[in-house]
A and B are shown apart, each in its own frame.
Chain A
């Protein structure tokens, strides 16, 4: 999903920055603008942009090269594209030497920008998947790895296999130590989402407010200590699966928030006003009998039956 990647356009000419931002937004990216190098660095400190378009010539003692160097100190892996109206070999060489990924001369062909951005995003997606796969390598499970002689367990495995290619939310109930996460990983690794992230969250391990921020992320200044915007587990699991372990232990308020995500796959980061849309499959697990908990009203019945 393109909105997952954020872009910052830096140009002292507002019309230049806004027009490029609007064009990139039409392409589905989340785009911010900054009208000086200083503003760009401030924004970079608050948000992790994937791509920066930086105008080479900007007034105020901080040109494009200086801006790029300061952004690099904050985000070593950011892709920075220098834009300029003055095409000289010297400036191009300087920009590339200092770490610019690309160098474009304005006005440029629409196809040039479009191809450039999609190429960078493709590489970033591959890097992200590579890092996820490396992490997963030692913890890869499929149904063949789950060994059981129990007929009941065979039924469960068969059912799990059937749902693995669907996007339906799955609830796994069982006592502690019965292999709920193993089944969840096997479902994930056997379906269409196998190459995408599997993000596990232990709901019992965190206090309500912390869990909310952990799941949905937060905006800068959402609470004391929230110095910069942070993605939550739902966003990290984009395209893949989120495993909510010990779902029976979450508070009624969080149940309501989660219900909305389950129904609409949309949410707000804590302290945020911008709705975030995700494509995530939810697998939840609990040692609690949720139907009994529902009768005791400690767990929303829409959750356990919906």
Chain B
């Protein structure tokens, strides 16, 4: 039996974690297990004041349990890859480990009033997006699809928390093993 693992670093919003775990269970048809992830201090880049998503992914690959279909990590830390100013998430394309940063999904990051509903919706969409990459999906030209590329929260808000028919058909839904 293979499990879909959803991991969270200690500071992660528990409601977001539960919502994402529930969505993964419903979307991918695999039993979901939750695991605690360590703090990401090791990935902190003092010059940029952000956390490198590559070392975080490397850690997730190391921590990925043997019975894991996929492992999606969640963190409140702001992530980056060296060439870009930030990333909302990062996943191994067709691989086992991915991570979503919740930092830039909050209204307060942009100096706005907090909005819990908007935050949870964005978190779900971004989690689905990274899961899509884990299942081998690339960005979708349909701006409504969860797999469309979002480089800002406006694009995240525009898309639906669901895959378009074409992307959904491409996902291998049956858990291996």
Contact = CB atoms under 8 A, between A and B. Distances in A.
Nearest to B150: A110
B64 interface: no
B82 A22 contact: no
Interface in B139-177: 139, 149, 151-152
A42 interface: no
Interface SS majority for chain A: helix
Interface string A95-137: 0000000000011111101100000000000000000000000
A171 to B, nearest CB: 29
Task: Name the residue among B48, B83, B138 with the largest chain A CB count within 10 angstroms.
Answer: B83
Given A19-B54, A26-B133, A106 B138 contact: no
Interface in A9-28: 13, 15-16, 19-20, 22-23, 25-28
A73 to B, nearest CB: 27
Given A27-B138, A27-B139, 4 more contacts: A16-B83, A22-B81, A23-B83, A26-B139
Interface in B93-144: 93, 133, 138-139
A83 interface: yes
Task: Name the residue among A26, A83, A110 with the largest chain B CB count within 10 angstroms.
Answer: A26
Given A15-B54, A111-B151, A28 B82 contact: no
A176 B82 CA distance: 62
A27 B149 contact: yes
Interface residues of A, number: 21
A16 B152 contact: no
A158 interface: no
Interface stretch (B18-26, B30-38, B84-92): B84-92
Contacts of A13: 82
B84 to A, nearest CB: 5
29 contacts: A2-B138, A13-B82, A15-B54, A15-B82, A16-B82, A19-B83, A19-B84, A20-B83, A20-B84, A22-B81, A22-B90, A22-B93, A23-B81, A23-B84, A25-B138, A26-B93, A26-B133, A26-B138, A27-B139, A28-B138, A83-B83, A107-B48, A107-B80, A107-B82, A109-B85, A110-B87, A111-B152, A113-B84, A114-B149
Interface in B12-66: 48, 54
B127 to A, nearest CB: 15
A82 to B, nearest CB: 13
Interface residues of B, number: 19
Nearest to B138: A28
A35 to B, nearest CB: 14
B148 to A, nearest CB: 11
Contact of A108 (B54, B85, B138, B149): B85
Contacts of B93: 22, 25-26
A23 B152 CA distance: 15
A25 B136 CA distance: 10
A106 B47 CA distance: 14
Contacts of A27: 138-139, 149
Nearest to A25: B93
Contact of B84 (A2, A25, A107): A107
Task: Name the residue among A20, A83, A106, A111 with the largest chain B CB count within 10 angstroms.
Answer: A111
Contacts of B80: 107
A121 to B, nearest CB: 12
Nearest to A111: B151
Contacts of A83: 83
Q: Which 6 residue pairs spanning A and B have beta carbons closest together?
A: A111-B151, A28-B138, A19-B81, A110-B151, A20-B83, A107-B85
